[in-house]
Chain A
Amino acid sequence: MISLVRETLEQGTRRSTVSHVEVTVGTTLVKRGFAHMCKHGVVMDVTNVEQAQIAEDAGAVAVMVLDKLPYDVRKAGGVARTASLKVIEEVMDHVTIPVMAKCRIGHTYEARVLESVGVDMIDESEVLTPADEERHIWKWAFTTPFVCGARDLGEALRRIEEGASMIRTKGEPGTGNVAEAVRHVRILNNEIRRLVAIEEEGDEQELARVARELRVSFELARETARLRRLPVVNFAAGGIATPADAALMMSLGCDGIFVGSGIFKSSDPHQRASAIVIATTYWDRPEIVAEAQKMVDESKSMLGMDVKNLELRMQERGIL
């Protein structure tokens, strides 16, 4: 059973015909439903077909195609854009699992291009250089579902109001440091707790005030309070590098995991990818997480970075 808000905004729906029967594509139910199917799974960043196949063999629930892994984006500098369509199409031809790709924040036409190629989900991502600092993409207008990053409840609900079908923590991409993802999900959880408490007390005026503070509609704030969670699926992302990292994020209430640089910047990508998949499913059984953790070697983990010394904090992109 899936939460549905503001169906009037469903501008991405189309009539179509399947087996001579009239059907509707791109509804909120269909788009959010896709995100629900990814739950308890691991989406892995890849830059080519070989990596995509390793990810699929390891049990990735989907792959995310990028030009460079976040760690390399950070090192290379310059402008980071959406990946080559040729690479995306090659990956789509070689794996059976869903294929996602990133576009720049606010770059409606990179997103249109990705939709026309046929990716299964678009990540409007702070890992790439934002194209519009003021406005994100109006995601309701698309048939393809979107995932967006968020550091707190306000960001998450604003993205949902723009039509995002899935939220993920921003964390701090490309660092191999899970601390920021933990911080973001904790903030989100605490803010939801506060909303729930206000709603339970029946204080509508306070709920309206908090909604204004979050810069979201009263209805969406109230729906979130009633559901006691975000109205869409919420994944962890940004700095996850080990099976234990994945299990930690699941234990904090995340619905699934994105791993960016953590796998293909390590020196044991095969085992690490499998191990993270296992730890994500069995996060609540520590002895199995330990088994998964034994499959990887800490000396082979990506080195990682202290978030305090970063020149570029990707999480501060696209926060309006």
Chain B
Amino acid sequence: MIIGVTGFQGDVEEHVKASRIAGERIGVDCRVIVVKDRSDLKDVDGLIIPGGESTVMGKLAVYRDVMSEIKERIESGLPVMGTCAGLILLAKRVYDRVVGETRQPLIGTLDITVERNTYGRQRESFESWIEVRRLSIDRFRAVFIRAPAIVEVGGDVEVLATLGTRPVAVLEGGTIGTSFHPELTSDTKFHELLLNIAKGRPEGCF
């Protein structure tokens, strides 16, 4: 199986490494490649959009016309995971807490509304232990870095984890989205979930 990590900007290598380890842990033979062009997308069975700056990634994805291709592939069933900036790019509706409308290019396939910079600036960035019952995780070390918040979820979206009452990890079809960064810590359960979905065995991971 081939997992692609979009390499426009952000913590690409961290996702590459986490995906490799996840593959070893669940016994899936998986090769991980960096996707920067349309042709790189051809053979991927699953895609990850990393953390970073969503405005930067969006611009670069449009520059080489990769964004539209990603959208088409997701619409025809490509499993995908977006973390932080990746979550923003996947969301159908996005605004910024400080400047309001952002007019940034989006993939826009995940039925949620995201507010950018909700938790404040870097000074307010935090980590916290969360429970992800759906993945049988009692304590997951979740790192939120200038994180976006999921303020609305559509009817078909399943909430995988919350911080207090606010959703911080969601699943809709083959799309996983998190406000935090599972790639920065050693628990690879979210990557394992993506690999399992790509492998066509979503039921096996719960």
Does B189 touch A at the CB level, under 8 Å?
no
Who on chain A is nearest to B85 by CB?
Answer: A37
Does A54 touch B at the CB level, under 8 Å?
no
Give the residues in chain A near B8, CB-CB below 8 Å.
40, 281
Does B165 touch A at the CB level, under 8 Å?
yes
| Stretch of B25-33, B67-75, B124-132, B194-202 with 4 or more beta carbons under 8 angstroms from chain A | B124-132
Who on chain B is nearest to A121 by CB?
Answer: B122
| Stretch of B10-18, B41-49, B170-178 with 4 or more beta carbons under 8 angstroms from chain A | B10-18
Give the residues in chain A near B93, CB-CB below 8 Å.
none
Contact of A59 among B10, B55, B84, B121 (CB under 8 A): B55
Contact with B along A6-25 (1 / 0, CB 8 A): 00000000001011111111
A40→B9 contact, CB < 8 A: yes
Does B51 touch A at the CB level, under 8 Å?
yes
Least CB distance from B84 to A in Å reads 7
Does B96 touch A at the CB level, under 8 Å?
yes
A34→B163 contact, CB < 8 A: no
Contact of A37 among B18, B53, B128, B165 (CB under 8 A): B53
B9→A61 contact, CB < 8 A: yes
Which size class do B's interface residues fall under? 35 or more
Known: A37-B52, A61-B9. A93 touches B98 (CB 8 A): yes
| Stretch of B56-64, B106-114, B152-160 with 4 or more beta carbons under 8 angstroms from chain A | B56-64
Known: A1-B183, A25-B126. A30 touches B143 (CB 8 A): yes
Least CB distance from A26 to B in Å reads 8
Give the residues in chain B near A60, CB-CB below 8 Å.
56
Contact of B184 among A2, A23, A98, A115 (CB under 8 A): A2
Give the residues in chain B near A56, CB-CB below 8 Å.
55
Does A194 touch B at the CB level, under 8 Å?
no
B59→A30 contact, CB < 8 A: no
Contact with B along A88-106 (1 / 0, CB 8 A): 0000111111100000000
Instruction: A139 to B14: give the CA distance in the assembly, Å.
Output: 25
Q: Give residues of chain B (129-169) contacting chain A, Cβ–Cβ below 8 Å.
A: 143-146, 163-166
Give the residues in chain A near B53, CB-CB below 8 Å.
37-38, 41, 61-62, 97-98
Does A120 touch B at the CB level, under 8 Å?
yes
Number of A-B residue pairs, CB cutoff 8 Å, is 148
Known: A40-B52, A98-B122. A33 touches B116 (CB 8 A): no
The residue in B11, B60, B186 that gathers the most chain A C-beta atoms within 10 A of its C-beta is B11
Instruction: A26 to B121: give the CA distance in the assembly, Å.
Output: 12
Give the residues in chain B near A143, CB-CB below 8 Å.
123
The residue in B85, B116, B127, B164 that gathers the most chain A C-beta atoms within 10 A of its C-beta is B127
Task: Please give the number of chain A residues whose Cβ is less than 8 angstroms from any Cβ of chain B in the complex.
Answer: 49
B10→A96 contact, CB < 8 A: no
Contact of A33 among B37, B63, B99, B181 (CB under 8 A): B181
Does A304 touch B at the CB level, under 8 Å?
no
Give the residues in chain B near A281, CB-CB below 8 Å.
7-9, 36, 60
The residue in A19, A27, A277, A282 that gathers the most chain B C-beta atoms within 10 A of its C-beta is A19
Instruction: A61 to B58: give the CA distance in the assembly, Å.
Output: 12
Least CB distance from B72 to A in Å reads 22
Known: A34-B146, A93-B98, A278-B60. A39 touches B11 (CB 8 A): yes
- A-B residue pairs in contact (CB < 8 Å), sample of 22: A1-B184, A18-B128, A20-B165, A21-B163, A23-B127, A25-B124, A26-B123, A29-B127, A29-B184, A30-B126, A36-B14, A37-B10, A37-B85, A59-B56, A59-B60, A62-B53, A95-B99, A96-B99, A96-B116, A278-B63, A285-B37, A288-B64
- Chain B interface (Cβ within 8 Å of chain A)? 7-14, 17-18, 36-37, 51-53, 55-56, 59-60, 63-64, 84-85, 96, 98-99, 102, 116-117, 119, 121-128, 143-146, 163-166, 181, 183-186
- Chain A interface (Cβ within 8 Å of chain B)? 1-2, 16, 18-27, 29-30, 33-34, 36-41, 56, 59-62, 92-98, 115, 118-121, 143-145, 277-278, 281-282, 285, 288
Kindly list the 4 A-B residue pairs having the minimum CB-CB distance in the complex, ordered from nearest: A19-B164, A120-B122, A23-B126, A23-B128
